């Protein structure tokens, strides 16, 4: 099995190219974005040395499915998914905040709470909570979108005060965020999962708000298994997660947390294949669909051919 770790296409009317940790993004004519979900995998803000076969397909197809299942709530950027690892859509002007919504005290929210603080992004949290407890109601905890470095927590009040987003738009972003999260929770529940927290990115296109990027993927969301959740909480046990947490744990066990001077451990073919199988299992659990492995020989050629066919219809 081969993995797609880099693309260097020269596409028609290409204006710019951006290489993210996982995705390669092409600006076409300042009108469209071609987003290629590579098989790169990152942890602790570091891209690991080997690609994971089918990982890009897993993420792209989960996002495509959930964007399609939420387009009655808010229009989204995607126009076409011409290849299992490619999405092509409208080039939107992004709002400079990520809309994070949390239904449970987990991750960053739990760490903040355990440090003794009782507010997060200007939202008050009740006393007496323990890690992974369900919150009285979902809370929106936005972050700024940093062009460099880490995103920072910010409150609704600060966003409006600094003029990062106009109030007329921000109220709509909050409304869409709550509705999308409620839909995501419904879908997850049917799959025997809990959508713990997630994030959404929005942008403007012709004056209208569009949902951008990916949604409800394990790279942008945290899932718990529904079965046994209550029992584990009562016993103070760790929750069973569906995420790439197992990759982080393997790195930690092998002495790597992205800190200076630390060396990324050797990734054996067996371990790479195991990660690949875990991602496929994750796809099937989250979507309820059977994963179809698309051939990986001549991968770059296939992806480029499918992109060109789609762009030919758009341009």
- Indicate if the pLDDT at residue 147 is higher than 70: no
Task: Give the residue-averaged pLDDT of 11-40.
Answer: 96
In the chain, the N- to C-terminal Cα span, in Å, equals 34
pLDDT surpasses 80 at 149: no
| pLDDT surpassing 70 at residue 150 | no
Contact assessment for residue 228 and residue 193, using Cβ atoms and an 8 Å cutoff: no
Decide if pLDDT at 140 tops 60.
yes
pLDDT digits over 159-189, tens only? 999 999 999 999 999 999 999 999 999 999 9
Give the mean pLDDT of 16-43: 95
Max CA pair span of the chain:
59
Domains parsed from the chain with CATH numbers: 94-242 (3.30.470.20)
3-state secondary structure 70-134: CCCCCCECEEEEEECCEEEEECCEECCEEEEEEEECCHHHHHHHHCCCCEECCEECCCCCCCCCE
Query: Mind listing the pLDDT tens digit for each residue in 183-239?
Result: 999 999 999 999 999 999 999 999 999 999 999 998 889 999 999 999 999 999 999
Rg of the chain over Cα atoms, rounded to whole angstroms, equals 20
Rounded to an integer, what distance in angstroms lies between the CA atom of residue 281 and that of residue 291? 8
> What is the tens place of the pLDDT at every residue in 107-133?
889 989 999 999 999 999 999 999 999
Average pLDDT over residues 89-108: 96
Q: Tell me the two tokens of residue 229.
A: 């959740």
- Note the pTM of the prediction, 2 decimals: 0.90
How large is the average pLDDT for residues 47-65? 95
Which pLDDT value is given to residue 86? 98
Nearest to 140 by CA among 102, 94, 195: 102
pLDDT greater than 80 at residue 19: yes
Share of the chain above pLDDT 90, in %: 86
Q: Is the pLDDT of residue 75 over 90?
A: yes
Mean pLDDT rounded to a whole number for the chain: 94
């Amino acid at each position: 099995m081969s993995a797609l770790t880099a693309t260097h296409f020269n596409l028609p009317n290409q204006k710019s190219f951006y290489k993210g940790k996982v995705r390669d993004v092409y600006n076409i004519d300042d009108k469209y974005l071609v987003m290629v979900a590579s098989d790169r995998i990152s942890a602790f803000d570091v891209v690991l040395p080997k690609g994971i076969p089918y990982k890009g397909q897993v993420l792209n197809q989960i996002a495509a499915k959930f964007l399609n299942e939420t387009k009655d709530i808010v229009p989204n950027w995607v126009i076409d998914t011409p290849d299992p690892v490619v999405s092509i859509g409208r080039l939107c002007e992004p709002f400079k905040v990520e809309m994070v919504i949390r239904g449970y005290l987990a991750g960053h929210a739990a760490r903040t709470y355990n440090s003794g603080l009782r507010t997060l992004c200007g939202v008050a949290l009740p006393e007496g909570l323990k890690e992974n407890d369900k919150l009285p109601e979902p809370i929106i905890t936005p972050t700024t979108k940093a062009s460099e470095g880490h995103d920072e927590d910010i409150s609704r009040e600060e966003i409006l005060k600094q003029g990062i987003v106009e109030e007329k738009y921000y109220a709509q972003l909050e409304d869409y965020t709550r509705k999308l999260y409620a839909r995501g929770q419904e879908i997850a529940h049917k799959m025997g999962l809990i959508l713990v927290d997630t994030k959404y990115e929005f942008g403007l296109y012709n004056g209208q708000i569009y949902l951008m990027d990916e949604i409800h993927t394990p790279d942008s969301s945290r899932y718990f298994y529904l079965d046994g959740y209550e029992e584990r909480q009562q016993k103070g046990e760790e929750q069973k997660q569906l995420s790439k947490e197992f990759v982080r744990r393997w790195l930690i066990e092998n002495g790597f947390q992205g800190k200076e001077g630390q060396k990324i451990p050797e990734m054996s073919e067996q371990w790479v294949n195991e990660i690949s199988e875990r991602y496929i299992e994750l796809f099937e659990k989250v979507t309820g669909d059977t994963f179809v492995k698309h051939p990986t020989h001549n991968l770059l050629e296939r992806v480029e051919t499918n992109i060109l066919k789609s762009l030919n219809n758009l341009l």
